[in-house]
Amino acid sequence: MPPLLAGTLGGLLTTWVTFAPCFLWIFVGAPYVERLRGNRALAGALSAITAAAVGVILNLAVWFALHTAFAETRPFTTGPIRFDVPVPSSLNPWALALAAAAVLAVFRFKVGMVPTLAACAVAGVALHLAGLV
């Protein structure tokens, strides 16, 4: 199988198995969630699950931002705590500029998420084709 086809099929399969179960649970369970909120024990569990999901999303956002803006990081460990510290000299100014432009577009100018994502994708491809990243 050609590598491009294998990579595309692998990406599609990964996307499917990552998101299909989540959407299935949402569509199947959504009608019952409001009824479950009346039960104190289940409401507490749902609140804990919500907090955990927000924490995971925040962790992923920080990890991706760090590894996008900096080409190199170094692990820092103290006791049971371990995190990556960016190497300042490896800062990618173009990635930082795109991120700042996206934040400005969304929060200052109230541009929607899809147009902002599309514009940043086009700008990223243009920067790559120009040999700047």
Digit-coded pLDDT (tens) for 88-103:
999 999 999 999 999 9
Digit-coded pLDDT (tens) for 63-94:
999 999 999 999 999 999 999 999 999 999 99
**Residue 92: closest CA among 116, 65, 113:** 65
CA 113, 58, 28, 11: dihedral to nearest 10 degrees?
A: 70
Q: What is the pTM of this model?
A: 0.66
Backbone angles phi, psi at 73, to 5 degrees: -130, 160
Confidence of residue 23 (pLDDT cuts 50, 70, 90): confident
DSSP 8-class letter at 130: T
